[in-house]
Amino acid sequence: MEVKPRQPSENIMQFAKYHAAGNDFIMIDGIMFPHTPSWWHRESIHKLCHRHYGIGGDGLIVLLESTECDYRMKYFNADGHEAEMCGNGLRCLALFIRDQGYPVSGTVSIETLGGPVSVEILEGNSVRVGISSISFDRSAIPMRGGEEECIDEELKLDKDTKFKITALSVGNPHVVIFGDYTEDDFLKYGPEISNLNLFPDYVNVSFVKIEGLDKISQRVWERGSGATLACGSGAVAAVSAGIANGKLPFGAQILVQQPGGELTVAVKEEYLEATLEGEAVYVYHGVVEF
């Protein structure tokens, strides 16, 4: 039996689906379709990212032209709120740019709300992202509660529950907690910490276990998306926080094991730049009504 697609209405959107270590994204070519579409609001994006009522994804990415860089990334979390950037999303975006037929040879600059980043397609579908916006300043995160950097600082949730946290921005906000925590701990405290009033823009929360000087395992609760299989910016934040706490070295290639796969992160001296490497994968493309 031949299955024929339903004839779509005029209110359609062409999209592609990509993932990086299971972190999956809906990709839209805003260069080909430059006019602000009618679906461009929080409720529609949330529905498109919903895994039962839409396409499904941890986020939605729009490729746009830029006056400052080679291209611009507009990124929305699965709840429909716009966020500064996404490390794994940038790796997927690099392949999307290539697959759409736009120039992407050598190192390409991408404008994001979290600052400019670089992407480079390596052998196969592996992509390297360069991030130079690492900061432990509370104002950069942002984080309330003083002016000192938050490195290995005690956070009390109640009289019986406390964590040692390190907070930083890598273009978007992160809290990193080191230790050997259970999945139940992660699912209970990840969303609670993410939504604390301490963080005006909310925060991504990582539970990280140090496996050695060149390997960590990580679980990330992403603000606006929940528990994801992987998080590229979270991997950069975890390694940077590990260095700040004396647990990891500058310059080393650190293997970051996440549920969806492995990423490699290296952070230069003085946090001048971090590189994030891993494979990105094209999944499928299609047309959706809205």
pLDDT, one tens digit per residue, over 72-109 is 999 999 999 999 999 999 999 999 999 999 998 899 99
Query: What confidence tens digit (pLDDT) does each residue in 213-223 have?
Result: 999 999 999 99
Q: Kindly report, as residue ranges, where domains of CATH 3.10.310.10 are found in the chain.
A: 12-132+279-289, 138-272
Query: Which has the closest alpha carbon to 68: 112, 100, 106?
Result: 112
Rounded to whole angstroms, how far apart are CA atoms 229 and 244?
Answer: 25
Q: What value, to the nearest 5°, has the Cα angle with vertex 261 and ends 222 and 199? A: 15
Catalytic residue (one of 49, 92, 150, 231) = 231
Q: What fold is seen in the domain 138-272?
A: Diaminopimelate Epimerase; Chain A, domain 1 (3.10.310)
Q: What residue ranges in the chain does DSSP mark as E strands? A: 12-20, 23-29, 59-64, 71-77, 82-83, 107-111, 117-121, 126-131, 153-158, 161-169, 173-178, 204-212, 215-222, 226-228, 254-258, 261-267, 274-279, 281-289
Q: What are phi and psi of 182, to 5 degrees?
A: -85, 165
CB 234 within 8 A of CB 175: no
Tokens coding 193: 């910490």
Q: Residues 123-173: pLDDT tens digits? A: 889 999 999 989 999 999 999 988 889 999 999 998 889 999 999 999 999
Question: Quick check: helix, strand or coil at residue 90?
Answer: helix
Question: 85 with 53: CB under 8 angstroms?
Answer: no
CA-derived radius of gyration, the chain: 19
Q: Is 86 considered catalytic here?
A: yes
Q: How confident is the model at residue 191 (pLDDT cuts 50, 70, 90)?
A: very high
Q: Which entry of 49, 86, 92, 150 is annotated as an active-site residue?
A: 86
Question: In sequence order, what are the residues at sequence separation of 6 or more whose Cβ sits closer than 8 angstroms to the Cβ of residue 283?
Answer: 16, 17, 18, 19, 24
Inform me whether the pLDDT recorded for 52 exceeds 80: yes
pLDDT tens, 227-276?
Answer: 999 999 999 999 999 999 999 999 999 999 999 999 999 999 999 999 99
Annotation marks residue 92 as catalytic: no
Full-model pTM:
0.92
The domain at 12-132+279-289 falls in which architecture?
A: Roll (3.10)
Residue with tokens 């299609």: 286
Give the span between the Cα atoms of 158 and 17, in whole angstroms.
41
